[in-house]
């Protein structure tokens, strides 16, 4: 990512765009922050925010016509915030002390003609920039028309105090000036380096106005009576004069100088209607308490649509614009810690952020790109995805993977590819589906077992993905490139993107088209289920429709879990979140499980198992279509553990080969190892730590053969370790009943060595 | 300087092969090309090192994470 790409990406997130009020204000007061301070009774802070953008806040704060108000989002859910009245309430409180630090004096002098707010603002801004400013006023005092405002609205002493600040900056005033004299302007042009003719100066002789260094009102679109517009005009003139004297571009970078349309999106769909607070005394405006109440109605406009929708984005306490910068910085660290690794590897890559973002910001693209970059540079933490990648390699090894034509067929019109996780979760249903497809589809339905290699894709392991996916492609090509029937929407996404030449079709489309099995029996006393669409069907609305049709055909009542089909949520498996950040994955699945009190139905086996693992009663649609005899409560099925998931795949291949192809693999699938007694508490430990039964068996086998183990005379327990792949596993056990009772297991990746004889 | 990470309970274990109680001794831990020396429960005869659950899931996991993020 280079700097330009960084900025382009950053601009895709609108969270830091100004709110409507600030964008609409001619001088861009940070109205949102001002109101937030008022609501918290932080009057001094509120004052300071006004001062930052507003010249003479004691004056303008009392008479501001608040053109921002009509842009306030609150009016869509009640009435606009009474911003002008809040300004008045603020400036009536004691003003905090201020110190003004003008820039070093410059040797240029400027004449300002007229002392309405426009001229005064120009004088204020220019004097703070270090220029020597003289204000020419035809009347006998500065700010004449301000003193004509009713005393109870704008007390004269306030005007005088504010103007005293101007004088303290060294601004000179020439009162009773003959500004309409024929030679007045020519005289000024000789004496000063630049001249500002305020809006009240009407006798600009044509010709002189075009002289270099003479600036006059340029913006005619506004209400000339508006105090804040007058101030804005003075400010813009001051900026032009400063740029003119500094000999820099008068125009560049000034597009947002006046009111502009902000890109900030604020969702007010769920904002309750609240009307404006009415002051008890209309003439004197809000009391401080009334102002605080009114400020409390402010929506504090911000976007955060993605953060509200995604636990991952919420977890890292910021928003995509900031995350882009963190990820960019992370990639550019040569030596030292890479603090954004966790951020990059925790995203489920599900794309919900992109679906809910008003500008379509895709965090998943950013994270995937960063992962690929880390892998290429050898900077990917080895532990982040290893467990899932080993599982993928298991799925694509001879232990599970196979590709065969339908028994008795020598070619295939179709192949059924159930995907690795359905086989891991419900091997029985894979057999039922395959039997059903063989009955309903003509031309031969072959079978392929394996993994689509999505884990390598998610891990950013492009080369590994390419290798594994090509292996799959070769096997499929050897079968004569039949149409691929898919039961997993992750596989569907991967194949759709990378297997261009393959005609793919979802199992749900086939079942929707060919109908339910003729021996289909519905669940007795079917209660309405909440339908969870897997995140990988976000933009596959036809699959979502197929499933809804199937539920209807089954007579199974259901309600949608999300308002829109593209808002489908991830279960925490996607993008290998579960591997890289297991705690976050738990938060994600619990949030999904809490969306409805009804039992769920879904059509992704991983979603089903993760929901079941979170204690949420959930059925897979295949549990309903191929309901087993006597099965009355498929939603109660537990999530199979990691070890069970591997064993299910191993056995499925073996069973299918034996039952359908009458092939003996010549491998012993039945438990070859010793009997392990494992309590439910220890099972949970193994699950949380992703330790497989086969790992335990290997450690114990090695310890028992080599005698390399520890013994605790107090407990009678043995403890042994063995390094497998990149991990050292420790098991605490005792021999029992011809097998072993397991008390504990844990692992680490550091290699340990002692120093013999010491 | 090496840090010592030994719980008194760890020294209740014996090396099965040497039939000797463990004592605190030097050991080295290596990961991602970095080696850290520490004093851990080891067999005083053969140097076989015991890593406790607390150490594996605590300090070792923490250091692994730090080295992985380098």
Q: Strand A739-748 relative to strand A676-678: parallel, antiparallel, unpaired?
A: parallel
How far away is chain B from the Cα of A340, in angstroms, using its nearest Cα? Answer: 9
Q: Which of A531, A640, A527, A548 is nearest to A592 (CA)?
A: A531
Low-confidence spans in chain A with pLDDT less than 50: 757-758
The residue of B37, B67, B70 whose CB has the most chain A CBs within 10 angstroms, and thus the best one to mutate to test that interface, is B70
Six token digits for residue A395: 């799925």
Quickly list DSSP for A370-394.
Answer: HHHHHHHTT-S-TTTTHHHHHHHHH
Contact criterion met (CB below 8 Å) for A27 and A222: no
- Give the DSSP per-residue string, A468-488: HHHHHHHHHHHTT-PEEEES-
Name which of A38, A59, A35 is nearest A228 in CA terms: A59
What would the DSSP string read from start to end of A95-160?
Answer: PPP----PPPP-S-EEEEE--SHHHHHHHHHHHHTT-EEEEE-SSSSTTGGGGGS-TTTS-HHHHH
Tens of pLDDT, residue by residue over B41-61, are 999 999 999 999 999 999 999
Enter the DSSP assignment of A332. T
CA distance A105 to chain B (A): 50
CB B49 to CB A751 under 8 A? no
Q: Are A111 and A118 in contact (CB under 8 A)?
A: no
Q: Which CATH architecture has domain A109-246?
A: 3-Layer(bba) Sandwich (3.50)
Residue-wise DSSP of A194-207: EEEE-TT-----TT
- The pLDDT value given to residue A209: 54
Q: Does A525 touch chain B (CB under 8 A)?
A: no
Q: Which residues in A lie closer than 8 A to residue B46 (C-beta atoms)?
A: 754, 756-757
**What are the sequence ranges of the domains in chain B?**
3-68
pLDDT at A674: 82
Q: Give the helix/strand (H/E) hosting A464.
A: helix A462-478
Cβ atoms < 10 Å from Cβ of B50: 22
User: Which CATH class, in words, describes the domain spanning A386-515+643-647?
Assistant: alpha beta
The answer, for A263 touching chain B at a CB cutoff of 8 Å, is no
Q: Do A749 and B66 touch (CB under 8 A)?
A: no
Domain B3-68 falls under CATH 3.10.20:
yes
Pairwise CA distance, residues A277 & A239, whole Å? 38
Rounded Cα distance, A305 and A270, in Å: 13
Q: Which of A601, A441, A462 is nearest to A534 (CA)?
A: A601
Angle at CA A293, nearest 5°, toward A288 and A297?
A: 140
**In this complex, which of B14, B17, B61 lies closest to A713 when CB atoms are compared?**
B14
CA atoms within 13 A on the CB side of A612: 21
- The answer to whether domain A20-96+290-295 has CATH 1.10.1060.10 is yes
Burial class (CB in 10 A: 0-12, 13-18, 19+), A585: buried
pLDDT in tens, A314-344: 999 999 999 999 999 999 988 889 999 999 9
User: What pLDDT does A185 receive?
Assistant: 87
Q: A278 by DSSP, 3-state: which?
A: coil
Helix, strand, coil % over all residues of chain B, rounded to 5: 30, 35, 35
A vs B: CB pairs below 8 A: 110
Cβ atoms of B50 and B41 within 8 Å: the answer is yes
**Nearest-CB residue to A748 (from B26, B27, B51):** B51
* pTM for the model: 0.89
Closest approach of B69 to chain A, Cα-based (Å)? 5
Cα–Cα distance between B25 and B13 in angstroms, integer? 14
Interface of B with A in 24-43 (CB under 8 A): 25-32, 36, 40, 42-43
CB contact under 8 A, B56 and A748: yes
Which residue, among B45, B48, B66, would best test binding to A if mutated, counting the most A CBs under 10 Å from its CB?
B48
Q: Report percent pLDDT > 70 for chain B.
A: 96
A708 and B48 in contact by Cβ < 8 A? yes
Please tell me the distance in Å from B8's CA to the nearest CA on chain A. Answer: 13
**CA distances in angstroms from A266 to A18, A24, A74, A269, A308, listed in the order given:** 11, 16, 10, 9, 12
Predicted pLDDT at A758: 42
Q: What's the burial of A705, exposed, middle or buried (CB within 10 Å: 0-12/13-18/19+)? A: exposed
Instruction: Please check whether residue A345 is in contact with residue A371, taking contact to mean a CB–CB distance below 8 angstroms.
Output: yes
């Amino acid at each position: 990512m280079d700097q330009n790409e960084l900025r382009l990406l950053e601009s895709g997130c609108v969270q830091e765009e100004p709110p409507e009020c600030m964008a609409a204000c001619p001088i861009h007061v940070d109205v949102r922050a001002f109101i937030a301070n008022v609501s918290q009774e932080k009057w001094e802070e509120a004052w300071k925010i006004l001062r930052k953008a507003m010249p003479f806040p004691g004056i303008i704060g009392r008479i501001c016509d608040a053109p921002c108000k009509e842009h306030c989002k609150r009016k869509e859910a009640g009435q606009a915030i009474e911003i002008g009245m809040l300004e008045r309430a603020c400036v009536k409180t004691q003003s905090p002390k201020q110190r003004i630090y003008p820039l070093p004096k410059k040797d240029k002098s400027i004449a300002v003609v007229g002392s309405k707010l426009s001229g005064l603002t120009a004088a204020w801004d220019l004097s703070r920039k270090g220029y020597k400013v003289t204000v020419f006023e035809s009347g006998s005092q500065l700010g004449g028309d301000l003193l004509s405002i009713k005393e109870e609205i704008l007390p004269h002493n306030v005007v005088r105090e504010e103007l005293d600040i101007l004088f303290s900056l060294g601004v000179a005033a020439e009162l009773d000036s003959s500004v309409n004299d024929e030679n007045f302007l020519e005289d000024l042009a000789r004496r000063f380096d630049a001249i500002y003719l305020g809006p009240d100066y009407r006798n600009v002789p044509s010709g002189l106005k075009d002289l270099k260094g003479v600036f006059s009102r340029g913006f005619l679109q506004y209400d000339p009576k508006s105090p804040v517009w007058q101030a804005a005009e003075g400010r813009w003139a001051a900026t032009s004069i400063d740029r003119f004297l500094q000999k820099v571009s008068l125009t560049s970078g000034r597009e947002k100088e006046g009111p502009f349309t902000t890109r900030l999106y604020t969702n007010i769909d769920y904002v309750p209607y609240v009307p404006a607070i009415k002051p008890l005394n209309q003439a004197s405006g809000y009391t401080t308490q009334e102002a605080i109440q009114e400020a409390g109605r402010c929506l504090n406009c911000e976007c955060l649509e993605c953060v509200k929708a995604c636990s991952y984005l919420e977890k890292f306490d910021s928003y995509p614009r900031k995350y882009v910068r963190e990820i960019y910085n992370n990639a550019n660290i040569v030596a030292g810690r890479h603090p954004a690794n966790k951020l990059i590897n925790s995203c489920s890559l599900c794309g919900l952020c992109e679906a809910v973002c008003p500008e379509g910001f895709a965090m998943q693209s950013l994270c995937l790109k960063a992962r690929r970059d880390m892998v290429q540079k050898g900077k990917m933490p080895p532990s982040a995805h290893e467990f899932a990648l080993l599982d993928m390699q298991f799925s694509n090894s001879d232990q599970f993977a196979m590709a065969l034509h339908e028994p008795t067929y020598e070619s295939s019109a179709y192949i059924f590819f159930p995907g690795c996780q359905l086989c891991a979760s419900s091997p029985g249903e894979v057999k039922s589906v395959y039997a059903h497809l063989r009955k309903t589809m003509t031309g031969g339905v072959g079978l392929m077992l394996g993994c689509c290699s999505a884990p390598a894709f998610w891990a950013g392991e492009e080369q590994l993905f390419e290798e594994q996916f090509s292996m799959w492609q070769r096997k499929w090509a050897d079968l004569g490139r039949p149409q691929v029937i898919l039961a997993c929407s992750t596989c569907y996404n991967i194949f759709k993107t990378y297997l261009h030449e393959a005609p793919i079709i979802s199992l749900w489309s086939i079942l929707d088209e060919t109908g339910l099995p003729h021996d289909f029996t519905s669940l007795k006393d079917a209660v309405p289920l909440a339908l969870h669409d897997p995140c990988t069907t976000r933009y596959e609305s036809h699959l979502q429709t197929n499933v809804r049709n199937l539920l209807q055909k089954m007579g199974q009542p259901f309600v949608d879990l999300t308002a829109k089909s593209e808002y489908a949520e991830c279960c925490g498996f996607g993008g290998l979140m579960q591997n890289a950040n297991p705690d976050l994955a738990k938060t994600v699945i619990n949030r999904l499980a809490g969306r409805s009190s009804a039992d769920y139905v879904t059509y992704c086996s991983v979603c089903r198992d993760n929901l079941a693992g979170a204690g949420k009663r959930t059925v897979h649609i295949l549990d309903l279509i191929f309901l087993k005899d006597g099965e009355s409560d498929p939603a109660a099925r537990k999530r199979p553990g990691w070890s069970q998931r591997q064993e299910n795949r191993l056995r499925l291949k073996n069973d299918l080969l034996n039952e359908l192809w009458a092939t003996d693999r010549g491998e012993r699938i039945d438990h070859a190892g010793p009997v392990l007694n494992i309590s439910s508490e220890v099972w949970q430990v193994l699950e949380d730590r992703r330790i497989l039964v086969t790992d335990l068996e290997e450690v114990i086998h090695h310890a028992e053969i080599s005698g390399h183990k520890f013994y605790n005379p107090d407990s009678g327990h043995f403890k042994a370790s063995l390094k497998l792949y990149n991990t050292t596993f420790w098991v605490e056990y005792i021999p029992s009943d011809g097998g072993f009772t397991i008390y504990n297991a844990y692992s680490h990746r550091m290699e340990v060595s002692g120093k013999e004889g010491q | 300087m090496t840090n010592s990470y030994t719980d008194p309970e760890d020294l209740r274990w014996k090396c099965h092969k040497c039939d000797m109680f463990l004592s605190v001794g030097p050991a080295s831990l290596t990961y991602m090309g970095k080696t850290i020396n520490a004093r851990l429960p080891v067999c005083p005869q053969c140097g076989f090192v015991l890593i406790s659950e607390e150490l594996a899931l605590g300090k070792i996991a923490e250091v692994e994470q730090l080295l992985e993020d380098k």
